[in-house]
Amino acid sequence: MAQNVALVTGASSGIGEALARRLARDGRSLVLVARRADRLESLAEALRAEHGVEAHVLAQDLLQAGAVQAVLAEVERRGLTVEWLVNNAGFGTGGRFDQLPVEHELEEVRLNVEALVEFTGRCLPGMVARRRGSVMNIASMAAFGPMAYSATYGATKAFVLSFSEAIAAELRGTGVQVLCVCPGFTRTEFQEKAHIDASAVPGFFWMSAEEVADQAVGALGRDTVLVNGFMNSLATTTLRFVPRSLVARATAVFMKGRAA
């Protein structure tokens, strides 16, 4: 019989790694996907030793053509069934859009949006047929308004939020749960890789990847959208009453000079 697993993309660091650790603590076997094989291998070893779960490493650059299909073909070859899909791999870019290399912006769209849609689209039919499954999509607080100086990133996360809410409504009563997680500032490698200086963000806005992961796992099946943390929830609720043009200008003032 096929073994049920949770497949976590972007499990080599940050929120994805914390989610993998949290799911292993619950006794779930895992498929860990990202590019850095060494990081995935040591995480898998730790999860096997600490929680007695199976942890499969599939090192894959999800920007490569056919990558999602290759990962899922290998999952099938190993006799595994994706019961939980965690679409977490993603990155951000900071800077004025016209000054950023457009190829990298397109990669951002391909990873944050296309890979997520493809994993979801290829895993959902099986979940629906089995009347059992969970899809967790990691968006961001950036999903709730236009993000000047991180325009592509904000737009990709707005897509993830809208897409997740829509499929959650479609899948009601099928036994498949969808949760869109919207973290705020979280201490990971993200800001450094995005060349965003977030040092001016007050400490009370920041969360750890472990807190985000704990809340996300707790919210699945209860909520469709989770904004992590009280301050972030307050901020996104307030954003609903602010004209989008003002949000764009406010982010422009804050981000200018803070994004490379």
Q: Which of 13, 29, 164, 232 binds ligand NAP (CB under 6 A)?
A: 13
Sign, CA dihedral 23-28-31-32, equals positive
Closest CB to ligand NAP among 62 and 85?
62
If binding is defined by CB under 6 A, does position 226 make contact with ligand NAP? no
Q: In whole angstroms, give the CA distance from residue 260 to residue 196.
A: 7
Q: Which of 5, 6, 7, 16 binds ligand NAP (CB under 6 A)?
A: 16
The residues, ordered by sequence, that sit 6+ positions from 198 with a Cβ below 8 Å of its Cβ are 185, 191, 258
φ/ψ of 223, rounded to 5, equals -120, 165
Q: Which residue is nearest to ligand NAP (CB)?
A: 14
If binding is defined by CB under 6 A, does position 145 make contact with ligand NAP? no
The piece of 6-14, 93-101, 117-125, 237-245 that touches ligand NAP (CB under 6 A) is 6-14
The residues, ordered by sequence, that sit 6+ positions from 82 with a Cβ below 8 Å of its Cβ are 5, 6, 7, 31, 72, 75, 123, 126, 127, 133
Residues 50-69 within binding reach of ligand NAP (CB under 6 A) = 61-63
CB atoms within 10 A of CB 153: 25
The piece of 5-13, 19-27, 219-227, 229-237 that touches ligand NAP (CB under 6 A) is 5-13
Residues 149-188 within binding reach of ligand NAP (CB under 6 A) = 183, 185-186, 188
Q: How far is the CB of 48 from ligand NAP (least distance, A)?
A: 19
Q: In whole angstroms, give the CA distance from residue 213 to residue 157.
A: 18
The residues, ordered by sequence, that sit 6+ positions from 126 with a Cβ below 8 Å of its Cβ are 81, 82, 133
CA 124 to chain centre: 17
If binding is defined by CB under 6 A, does position 140 make contact with ligand NAP? yes
Residues 23-52 within binding reach of ligand NAP (CB under 6 A) = 34-36
- Residues acting as catalytic residues: 153
**Helix (H) or strand (E) segment spanning residue 175:** none
Q: Which of 29, 88, 134, 152 binds ligand NAP (CB under 6 A)?
A: 88
258: tokens are: 């803070």
Binding residues for ligand NAP (CB under 6 A): 10-16, 34-36, 61-63, 88-92, 111, 138, 140, 183, 185-186, 188-190, 193, 209
